[in-house]
Structure 1
Amino acid sequence: MEGNISLARIGILIIGSILAFLKYNFSQKNKIFLGNSGALFLGYLLICLGIYITKFDHNTAHFPYGIFFILFVFTIPVIDSVRVYTDRILRGKSAFKADKTHIHHHLLQLGLSHKKITLIFVSINVIVLAIQVIFFKNYSVYTILLSFLAFILIFKLIKTINLFLTWKNNIKQMENS
């Protein structure tokens, strides 16, 4: 959009590597483990790309491409991380001590596979993209709040379903014993 071919090449390389990674992880036999180093490196590349794009936000149009990119790519991880860190602090625990309270852990407990969870997250990102395209024409802080509230509502629904199913399974186990 800005005519920066170098930036477009980097973006295409990142997209290609992510698609290749997902291709192998969606297969039944071949799996590739990204690991912490790979995830941190990918996050670093994406945030650097987003920051670099924000440098061009007001050159050709009044559309904030950089902020749009950052919100689109990082909506789920940022909101989920903020929610988890806040919850840990409120419980009197270290914000950086690992636990199983991230949204994907709740989805795994509901019996969803990693493949389905990935598809759900991609779908949520596409929905966030659509919301942002609709509301970014008159960009305001309300767009960020709308994304945040939508995520919190979705998470609360998943957590409630998860708690209900756990309670139901506990009742069945008590009845059987």
Structure 2
Amino acid sequence: MDYNLFLMPLLVSFVTAASLLIAFILLGKNRMFRDGRIADRHIHKKNILRFGGVALVVAFVAAIFLNKQLVVNVPLVGVLIASLAIMIFGVMDDVRQLSWKYQLLFQIIIALFVWSVGIRLQYVTNPFGGIFLFENFFWHSIALFFSVAWIVFIMNAMNWIDGIDGVSGGVAFIAAVTIFLLSLRPEVNQPPVGIITAAFLGALAAFLLFNFNPAKILAGTSGSMFMGFVLAIMAIFAGAKIATTLLVLAVPIIDAFWVIGERIRAKVSIFSPDKRHLHFSFLEMGWSQKKICFFYYGITVPIAFVALNTNAQGKIFAFSIIFMFMIAIYISIRKRIKINA
């Protein structure tokens, strides 16, 4: 396989993102362009520009658009249009702080849009062997529901962990590397998926240079939603490798489920912003942002290795182990915080 296929989109996206990020950071020195969200749940004590997502999206779209190896088809164009729409909506949210209802509606519309252009679950792997095809109208409807739910959930899971410098970008980078390596395997052999993922990786690498603590720029809503969107659709593109992506994103996914459960228990909206997330609990315990970041990386990297080297049954078992481990962490943290209080 010619690895230059992947090098060029990676470099184009890296250089484009890095150039834009530097420009935005310089622009952010002007007070009128800075983020004004110094609320209780926002950890940054000084205004930092939240336009990192703009650089991510523009770099990704540019690298894909300029790549001559990719066949321009309806699904690919749909991904680019959806990415730009996420960027625009995200910037609007970063500037005006839109209601969660508008955000959820927008995410559903995006998921329905990519379904309409052909990015959809057509089959799933049976953990006990073979595949299950969505062949008739009833199963197509089930596939539509799960496709939309998958995209919306992953977008929110990545958005919700974007509370600590370097976490969302780093986790997305590890997940993207996993999908990239998966696309190169002989039994998968999907160079187009590898090219698209390489473009995503280049933008993420540039972003992490400036987002790692202490961050010079933030992803913003556009960036975190875009990360989740790309990971969700690449899982569908890569031969319905939902289980692999589900496993490598186990930490943000379990965190999202935990927080949703806690909000339901507290009888508040599941989309109501608060500080129930794992990274906020670590902060309350006195952990530094860098320590929290390395905790996420330290768990996600070995999970990615397991995801690449196990079958469907192994992934289910691994996810169950991680789930129990995470629940034990939540309970332990809750007890420790109560004792300290």
Q: Give the alignment partner of residue 16 of structure 1, picking from 196, 202, 205.
A: 202
- SS of residue in 1 equivalent to 2:216: coil
CA distance in 2, matches of 1:70, 1:160: 29
TM-score (norm 1): 0.75
- The answer to whether residue 271 in structure 2 is matched with residue 96 in structure 1 is yes
Q: Give the alignment partner of residue 79 of structure 1, picking from 251, 254, 268.
A: 254
CA deviations on 1:8-54 (whole Å, 9 max, x unpaired) are 122122222222212112365x6111011210011000111112113
Higher alpha-carbon deviation: 127-136 or 38-47: 127-136
Runs of 4+ off more than 6 Å? none
Higher alpha-carbon deviation: 18-27 or 32-41: 18-27
Question: CA contact under 8 A between 1:135 and 1:143: conserved in structure 2?
Answer: no
CA distance in 2, matches of 1:39, 1:140: 25
- SS of residue in 1 equivalent to 2:195: helix
Question: Equivalent residue for 1:111?
Answer: 286
Question: CA contact under 8 A between 2:255 and 2:277: conserved in structure 1?
Answer: yes
Q: Give the alignment partner of residue 36 of structure 1, picking from 214, 221, 227.
A: 221
Percent identical among aligned pairs is: 26
CA distance in 1, matches of 2:236, 2:219: 24
TM-score (norm 2): 0.41
- The answer to whether residue 245 in structure 2 is matched with residue 69 in structure 1 is yes
Higher alpha-carbon deviation: 155-164 or 120-129: 155-164
Equivalent pairs counted in the alignment come to: 155
Greater share of residues in helix: 1
Question: Equivalent residue for 2:233?
Answer: 48
AA in 2 matched with 1:34: A
- SS of residue in 2 equivalent to 1:139: helix
CA distance in 1, matches of 2:275, 2:207: 24
**Which structure exhibits the higher relative contact order, with contacts defined as CA atoms closer than 8 Å and separated by 6 or more residues?**
2
CA deviations on 1:42-85 (whole Å, 9 max, x unpaired) are 10001111121134xxxxxxxxx54223321x211111111111
CA distance in 1, matches of 2:331, 2:296: 16
Question: Equivalent residue for 1:128?
Answer: 303
Cα displacement (A) at 1:134: 6.6
Aligned CA distance change for structure 1 residues 113 and 21 (closer, same or farther; 3 Å) = farther
Structure 2: runs of 5 or more not aligned: 1-184
CA deviations on 1:68-109 (whole Å, 9 max, x unpaired) are 23321x211111111111111112111111111000111111
Question: CA contact under 8 A between 1:108 and 1:114: conserved in structure 2?
Answer: yes
AA in 1 matched with 2:239: T
CA distance in 1, matches of 2:312, 2:226: 32
Aligned CA distance change for structure 1 residues 94 and 138 (closer, same or farther; 3 Å) = closer
CA distance in 2, matches of 1:157, 1:128: 22
CA distance in 1, matches of 2:309, 2:337: 32
Structure 1: runs of 5 or more not aligned: 56-64, 168-177
Higher alpha-carbon deviation: 37-46 or 13-22: 13-22
- SS of residue in 1 equivalent to 2:218: coil
Cα displacement (A) at 1:151: 1.4
Question: CA contact under 8 A between 1:84 and 1:102: conserved in structure 2?
Answer: yes
Aligned CA distance change for structure 1 residues 54 and 153 (closer, same or farther; 3 Å) = farther
